[in-house]
Amino acid sequence: MAKFPEASARLFHNVFVCKRCKTKRKADIRKILDKQILCRKCGSKAFRAIKSKK
């Protein structure tokens, strides 16, 4: 299976996962670090970066 940089950027760039309910959210990293982004599902401000499969 071939890996395309466009596809990996679409799937993993600026995508974060809520630590409480595991919902994915696409946002700028500065806003995530400044705690300006809320989770749509649970309202939490704790996010982590999505793990890409190697």
Tell me if 23 is assigned to some domain: yes
Task: Provide the residue range defining the domain that includes 34.
Answer: 5-49
Tell me if 37 is assigned to some domain: yes
Tell me if 54 is assigned to some domain: no
Note whether 52 and 15 are within 8 A (CB): no
- Strand order from edge to edge, sheet including 24-26: 24-26, 15-18, 47-49
Question: How many C-beta atoms surround the C-beta of residue 16 within 10 A?
Answer: 21
Number of domains within the chain:
1
Note whether 47 and 32 are within 8 A (CB): yes
Tell me if 44 is assigned to some domain: yes
**Tell me, what CATH number does 21's domain have?**
2.20.28
Instruction: Kindly give, in sequence order, each residue whose CB lies less than 8 Å from that of residue 47, ignoring residues fewer than 6 positions away.
Output: 16, 17, 18, 19, 25, 32, 37, 39
pLDDT tens track, the chain, 54 positions: 568 889 888 888 999 999 999 999 999 999 999 999 999 999 999 999 998 776
